[in-house]
Structure 1
Amino acid sequence: MNRTFIIYAILISLFITTLGFFFYFYQQVQIFDKKLEETNSSETRSSKHHFVLIGEEMGHDYWRLVGEGAKKAESRYDVVVQYEGGPKRSNPDEQLKLFDMAIKSKVDGIIIQALNDEFTPMINKAVKKGIPVITIDTDAPESMRSTYIGTDNYKAGQMAGQALIEDTDGKAIIGIVTGGMDKDNHQHQLRLEGFKDTIAQVEGIKIVAMAESNLSRVKAEEKAYEMLTEHDDITAFYGTSSLDGMGIVAAANNLNKNDLYVMTFDTLTENIRLLKKGKIDAIVGQQPFEMGEKSIEIMLDLLTGGNSVQDVYQTNVTIIRTSDLPLKGSERMGLLD
């Protein structure tokens, strides 16, 4: 009897959890749909073009910067840029739903992060319906997209590997915490490949552990903690997402590992603070603000024929160390003050 009761309790709990996710997702789609209707019925009457930007995670500092860049371009041109009601957490399925809704609303252009291969047919669907698509941050080169704007992620990985070699004099035992290694994480795969291909040329460096953080600071801390307890000889960490470095530092602090070399991505405020304190040794700086701003300018070029459009627009990548502070110029565009 007790066992049956427990099984039923578990099943009911799973049902309630699933139902909760369904209603959350439904609510987000409704918000996005309402925004589309409001924008189509009001602002676009006085504007020439209506663009939709669909990023990975609305609440993430990196994607806030992408949105701010797009909104800056909106303020300069006769366009409406919709960047509300998107995913609150990383969710490729939700992004695809929002993408499909934007197509059905017949917007003038769509800017999308192509997280995995499932985005290619949706991009092709939009283009066949006469809606140009720009991929941002993560590319879908086999699709019919007009252009890609963002980081050359393989090159970024190479730069990270070379910086680690220089900073450690070619001697390091490495643990890697990555945003993801599956098909939903193209950019992290490329950052890993570029990094591994570069350090493979140096005999004194080897990787002993690797785990996924799923773009979560808490998960990054958990995985780094596990690595450090299982591999006491680790001397350096490489994190491929903006939250990985924070999690690695937290794990190192908990274990009183104060001499680790830590490299992570993105000049977010907390990462800069940890860099200043010497807890992070190097940051791979991207340009999310520039990506957002440039995507709107390029979309206008596509629609007006004002300038020829390249197949790829690679934004700048820099390796930032303590000696590079304070940041100047374009490097500050990736920093939240």
Structure 2
Amino acid sequence: MKTTIAYLATATALVALATAAQAQDKKTLAIVVKGLDNPFFEQINLGCQKWMSENADSEYQCLYTGPASSADEAGEVQIVDDLLTSGVAAIAISPSNAPAMANRVREIAPDVPVMTIDADFLEADRDLRTTYLGTDNYLMGVKMAEEAAKLKPEGGTVCLQLGNVAADNINARAQGFRDTAGGAEGIERLAGEGGWTEIEGCPVFTNDQADLANQQMADTFIANPDLDAFILVGGWAQFAPQAYSQVTDQVMDKLNSKELIIIAGDTLPPQTQAFRDGRSHAQVGQRPFEMGYKAPDVMIQLIEGQTVEDPLYTGLDVCNQDDPGFCKDN
């Protein structure tokens, strides 16, 4: 029932925005994210709004939308369906469930440019989109493994915290971590390679929910008092700073001594604060604002038939104890 209400509210908002765009004789460049409840995606929205403010006289408008909850995979597919059916000039999609989204886009066979942003389709479905704009997610996982190796050169026991099971970007990060930590390509699960072993019960999947992410961390720390490393492949737990502080309070002695290390994805303000407070040892950050700011121009280039590179990577920011870098003042 909650999902239905949330979808209806989103659909109503979409209709209102589309009507407003028609009244202004504007063509819509849509950005559809996994969920409006995730602060990471709000940075994409801010980038979209920045583009709007700088292009007030453009014939295009940037529309940022998505399901109310990041757990509503079906809702995101329905929103994309509605937008493509009602008519948009181009669309950028961050698919939560990559196979399900690709199946629907293939069924619709839209005649407008489709690109992905933040998260990509699976390799077999990439013919459906013209380009991908966002992070090199495999490289992000590589960077996380490199930071872990600096702190634990002999390896140790590790738990990976992932998002949605079918999220291509998160799975790519996990693969980058495993391959780099284990010293070989295609490792499905670390079982001693490079000195690293994934513990029983891990990886854990948050479904992009901050409360569940923090509960998983707490449960893992209690059940595995000798754990060497916890890797937040995405920043979910840190998006709820009070809960994250309460969880890490229980292991601060271990964090301070580096008996237990935490490496986390993303560098939003509550996350850089957690890093400065010693509640993580390294952060590997994406650039979501840049994604939202660049996406409208990329879509316009696609509409105009220009050649666009594929993929379009937006870079990474790495913070660690030797070089706080981006996390020092943000």
Say yes or no: TM over 0.5.
yes
Question: How far apart are the structure 2 equivalents of 1:212 and 1:249?
Answer: 20
Judged with a 3 Å threshold, the aligned counterparts in structure 2 of structure 1 residues 271 and 129 are, in CA distance, closer, same or farther, namely closer
Structure 1 position 99, deviation (Å): 0.8
Matched, 1:56 2:34: yes
Determine if contact 1:136/1:148 at 8 Å carries over to the other structure: yes
Partner Cα separation in structure 2 for residue 123 and residue 75 of structure 1: 30
SS of the residue 2:9 aligns to: helix
Counterpart of 2:117 (choices 107, 132, 136) is 136
Could you list the runs of 5+ residues in structure 2 that have no partner in the other structure? 184-192
Structure 1: segments with no counterpart, 5+ residues: 1-17
Q: Is the 8 A contact 1:282 1:319 kept in 2?
A: yes
Q: Give the residue type in structure 2 aligned to 1:163.
A: E
Deviation at 1:285, TM superposition (A): 0.8
- When the two chains are superposed, the root-mean-square deviation of aligned CA atoms in Å is 2.3
Aligned to 1:66: 44
User: How is 1:1-337 mapped onto 2 (pairs within 5 angstroms)?
Assistant: 18=1, 20-40=2-22, 42-43=23-24, 45=25, 47=26, 49-77=27-55, 78=58, 79-84=60-65, 86-90=66-70, 91-115=72-96, 116-124=98-106, 128-140=109-121, 141=123, 142=125, 143-180=127-164, 182-183=165-166, 185-201=167-183, 203-209=194-200, 210=202, 211-245=204-238, 250-254=246-250, 257-259=253-255, 260-305=260-305, 307-325=306-324, 327=326
Q: Letter of the aligned partner of 1:162 in structure 2? A: E
Q: Distance in 1 between matches of 2:100 and 2:3?
A: 22
**Residues in 1 aligned to 2:4 and 2:298: alpha-carbon distance in whole angstroms:** 36
Paired with 1:60 and 1:21, the residues of 2 have a C-alpha distance of 16
Tell me the SS of whatever aligns to 2:226.
Answer: coil
Q: 1:170 to 1:249 in 2, by over 3 A?
A: farther
Instruction: Give 3-state SS (helix, strand or coil) of 1:83's partner.
Output: strand
* Paired residues of 1:69 and 1:293 also in contact (CA < 8 A): yes
AA paired with 1:66?
I
Distance 2:3 2:68 in 1: 12
**Aligned partners of 2:317 and 2:326 also within 8 Å:** no
Matched to 2:47, the amino acid is G
Deviates more, 1:245-254 or 1:278-287: 245-254
What whole-Å deviation, never above 9, does each CA across 1:81-107 have from its counterpart, x for those lacking one?
1125x3121122111111111112211
Q: How far did 1:54 drift?
A: 0.8
- One-letter code aligned to 1:54: V
Change (3 A) 1:220 1:23: closer
Residues 177 and 249 from structure 1, CA distance in 2 versus in 1: closer, same or farther, beyond 3 angstroms? farther
The one-letter code sitting in structure 1 at the alignment partner of 2:216 is K
How much does 1:326 deviate?
5.2
Are 2:48 and 2:63, in contact at CA under 8 Å, matched by a contact in 1? no
How far apart, in 2, do the equivalents of 1:29 and 1:53 lie?
A: 15
**TM-score, with normalisation over the residues of structure 2?**
0.84
**8 Å CA contact retained: 1:177, 1:244:** no
More contact order relative to length (CA 8 Å, sep ≥ 6): 2
Deviations 1:13-57 (A, max 9, x none): xxxxx4x443333232222222222222x22x1x4x321111112
Q: Does structure 2 retain, via aligned residues, the 8 Å contact 1:50–1:107?
A: yes
How far the C-alpha of 1:195 sits from its partner, in A, is: 0.8
Q: In the alignment, is the contact (CA less than 8 A) between 2:248 and 2:279 conserved in 1?
A: no
**Aligned with 1:110: secondary structure?**
strand
> Secondary structure at the residue paired with 2:326?
coil
Q: Secondary structure at the match of 1:57?
A: coil
**2:319, 2:325 within 8 Å by CA — same for their partners in 1?**
no
Indicate conservation of the 8 Å contact 1:281/1:321, yes or no.
Answer: yes
Question: Secondary structure of 1:244's partner?
Answer: helix
Name the CA distance, whole Å, in 1 between partners of 2:148 and 2:291: 26
TM-score, L = length of structure 1: 0.82
Q: Distance in 2 between matches of 1:261 and 1:249?
A: 15
Counterpart residue type for residue 102 of structure 1: L
CA shift at 1:233, angstroms? 0.9
Q: CA deviation at 1:205?
A: 2.6
Overall identity of the aligned pairs, in %: 20
